[in-house]
Amino acid sequence: MNTFGQLFRLSSFGESHGRGIGGVLDGCPPGLTVDLELIRKELSRRRPGQSALSTDRNEADEVELISGIFEGKTTGAPIAFLVRNTDMRSQDYDYLKGIFRPSHADYTYHSKYGIRDHRGGGRSSARETIARVVAGAFAKMLLNTMNISIEAFTSQIGPIVLEQQDSTLFSSELAAENPLHCPDREKAEAMMALIARVKEEQDSVGGVVSCVVRGLPVGWGEPVFGKLHARLASAILSIPACKGFEYGSGFDVSQKGSQQNDAFYFDGERINTRSNHSGGIQGGISNGQPVYFRAAFKPIASIRIPQETVDKEGAAVKIQIQGRHDPCALPRVLPVVEAMAALVLADACLMAKSKERIV
């Protein structure tokens, strides 16, 4: 399953320590102006080595657009792209050839396929998300033509949590002031200090991403098995290290129906709701309100603290993982969350347009 989407489809390829990561994006409409700066910006946000909060691996992550673009616009043909790997240290992983790292995909990949790329996890590495970010940038270009925006924020690192959990109320201006894109100056400083501390301790820490989509029209999403929130959940949960997803009021539903229901009213121009506990989706279909969701990311499994595990023969061994790894999935996962949401929405857009009513 290396292809995502139905009409707006991404097929990705590549491994962490292979020659590069790339993809083929099919279904992108023709005539879309290609914003190269947007692609570079999104890749830069995901790029390793960008701050003291991330891994020391240093990759330029420059994209090569191979096909599907002519005179600065998409042609409707498949868009092929490649980002080459340049700063690999594969020798750091040689001792792991026959060892299963705790909480990694080593054991499951070996059990399923009988072979695995031990160099940085191969295909299971988060470096695979480069393809998602590039494709997501094209999806954002399409959505931008309809004034639809997607913005992810850091709302929790370890025990440090934003008091305000409704991401529709987060301040983009405040978030832009720090690498974590956290809209609270005091909490952002505490979060960054915590990440720096666990990195010094050679450990890792988990966090939560909040994301808001503004500008969606009414009617995107399919009833029953193609519900918009279900497709968003599938997309976000496919991101490495993601452990949980909720939208709207999510698990905070221990209230009465009279408190949770979103009352409708007519504002003189359109039907609106007085609250948004539904998170902009009802019956699996967008209702015109902002869509917002949260995603939980576990602590990065690659830590330098000695750990107990087994080798492929089942013998007990102790390991101390080498290599260069993030102490926290955030902030580098933020553009990946936005990219996957954008891919879902671009697909939903094309599906909605293919079903527009004739009368």
Amino acid at residue number 71: E
Instruction: Please calculate the CA angle 312-316-319 and round it to the nearest 5 degrees.
Output: 90
pLDDT at 252: 84
Which DSSP category does 302 fall into? -
Q: Please, what is the angle between helix 36-46 and helix 334-354, to 10°? A: 140
Three-state DSSP state, 173 = helix
Indicate if the alpha-carbon torsion angle 207, 209, 159, 185 is positive or negative.
positive
Q: Please, what is the angle between helix 36-46 and helix 129-144, to 10°? A: 140
pTM listed for this prediction: 0.93
Tokens standing for residue 237: 């949960």
Q: Which of 309, 164, 293 is nearest to 234 (CA)?
A: 293
Tokens standing for residue 155: 């709302």
Residue 117 to residue 13: CA distance in whole angstroms: 14
Q: Tell me the CA distances in angstroms from 26 to 17, 74, 135, 230, one per residue in order.
A: 26, 11, 10, 22
pLDDT at 88: 65
Q: How many Cβ atoms sit within 10 Å of the Cβ of residue 171?
A: 12
Burial class, 221, CB count within 10 angstroms (exposed 0-12 / middle 13-18 / buried 19+): buried
Query: What is the full per-residue pLDDT of the chain (359 aa) written as tens digits?
Result: 899 999 999 999 998 888 899 999 999 999 999 999 999 999 999 987 666 676 665 667 899 999 999 999 999 999 999 999 887 666 667 777 889 989 888 899 899 999 888 877 778 888 999 999 999 999 999 999 999 999 999 999 999 999 887 888 899 999 999 999 999 999 999 999 999 999 999 999 999 999 999 999 999 999 899 999 999 999 999 999 999 999 999 998 778 888 889 999 999 999 999 999 999 999 999 999 999 999 999 999 988 899 999 999 899 999 888 767 889 999 999 999 999 999 999 999 999 988 765 43
